[in-house]
Amino acid sequence: MRVLVAGGSGFIGSHLCDSLLADGHSVIVADNYITGRKRNLQHLADHPHLTIIEHDITNPLHVEVDWIFHLASPASPVGYMRHPIETHVTNAVGTHQLLQLAQRLGARFLFTSTSEAYGNPLEHPQSETYFGNVNPVGPRSCYDESKRYAESLTMEYVRQFNLDARIVRIFNTYGPRNDPNDGRVIPNFITAAKSGQPLVVFGDGSQTRSLCYVSDLVRGLRVVMQEPELAGEVFNLGNPDERTILELATIIIEQCGSRSQIQFEPARQDDPERRCPNISKVRSMLGWEPTVSLEDGLQATIEYFSAYETLPV
């Protein structure tokens, strides 16, 4: 297949490119590097089936493809709060551009939404039928609400134009190529633990997250795109292995063999208290479930961070 990966230079996008190219697909990456990084695709620079275009998806893109994966958006809280307007516009105007492209080409479309669409959830674990509990004017709303808007727009293209579009809600994902500066919990904790600095826990650390290793997540994206007859379907992708942030800090200190302490700081505004995907739908319809344990995934991520300074920029 000819595949467009919008946001292909990002953390998850770059792993998706690896996976698609390994299976013989031709890949075009469009990325404006607002949070994506050139180093993530450096190892594929000479690949004959990869084309990288520096492009902002809020502008029209002229390519011929069969599949469009839309992963283009800042996605970490620090990343989207640093670029709130760009996050809004990318998910609104950028998604519209890509939907128009898909419609014109008759291409299959996969929109990557987020567990943030559920906000600070009142239903636990979160299933796809839950409407969410989102603060529409809070500091996270540039991401939550623009992703919700983009989901809605995608569904209109399914209803109005029979576009073959699917939506995936990605829960917290980690692994090699996590940006050490994007403020996410795992890169922050590993960087601190390795340098003997305190691990900063926001709030009392009782808030939970369910962490999915990137190879599992990419396999899920591939399955949702590949399967026929899924137009208009929404799937959670994530690992239901729920942990508190305090537990995560303790595990990372131990796995890094670190003497770092844990330091508590005030909670972030609107920080979701609990987050855990219900993955029964994707498991029963598509047979997908994560296979990499938190401990194994963290080990591989810690190794990546250990080699980070020596990797090509």
- The minimum distance between CB 188 and ligand UDP, in angstroms, equals 3
271 interacts with ligand UDP by CB under 6 A: yes
- The minimum distance between CB 48 and ligand UDP, in angstroms, equals 36
CB of 9 or CB of 172, closer to ligand UDP: 172
Residues 145 and 134: their CA atoms lie apart, in Å, by 8
83 interacts with ligand UDP by CB under 6 A: no
96 interacts with ligand UDP by CB under 6 A: no
The continuous run of DSSP H or E covering 3 comes out as strand 2-6
The continuous run of DSSP H or E covering 112 comes out as strand 108-114
Nearest residue to 99 (alpha-carbon basis) of 52, 61, 141? 61
Residues 155 and 167: their CA atoms lie apart, in Å, by 9
CB of 241 or CB of 271, closer to ligand UDP: 271
Among residues 80, 118, 143, 174, which one is catalytic? 143
Active site residue 174: no
Cβ atoms within 10 Å of 313's Cβ, excluding its own: 7
Binding mask 111-140 for ligand UDP (x = CB under 6 A): ------------------------------
Assign residue 226 a region: left if phi > 0, alpha if psi is -120 to 50, beta otherwise? alpha
- The minimum distance between CB 136 and ligand UDP, in angstroms, equals 17
Query: Which residue in the set 41, 65, 117, 185 belongs to the binding site for ligand UDP (CB under 6 A)?
Result: 185
- Stated length of the chain: 313
Residue with tokens 């900063």: 200
245 interacts with ligand UDP by CB under 6 A: yes
Instruction: Specify whether the CB–CB gap between 57 and 90 falls below 8 A.
Output: yes
Residues 238 and 217: their CA atoms lie apart, in Å, by 7
Find the binding residues for ligand UDP in span 156-175 (CB under 6 A): 172
- The minimum distance between CB 241 and ligand UDP, in angstroms, equals 15
Q: Is the dihedral of CA 221, 208, 285, 153 positive or negative?
A: negative
- The minimum distance between CB 209 and ligand UDP, in angstroms, equals 5
Is the preceding omega at residue 266 within 30 degrees of 0, hence cis? no
Q: Which stretch binds ligand UDP (CB under 6 A): 17-25, 144-152, 160-168, 200-208?
A: 200-208
Residues with a catalytic annotation lie at 143
Contacts with ligand UDP, residue ranges (CB under 6 A)? 76-77, 172, 183-185, 188, 200-202, 207, 209, 245, 268, 271
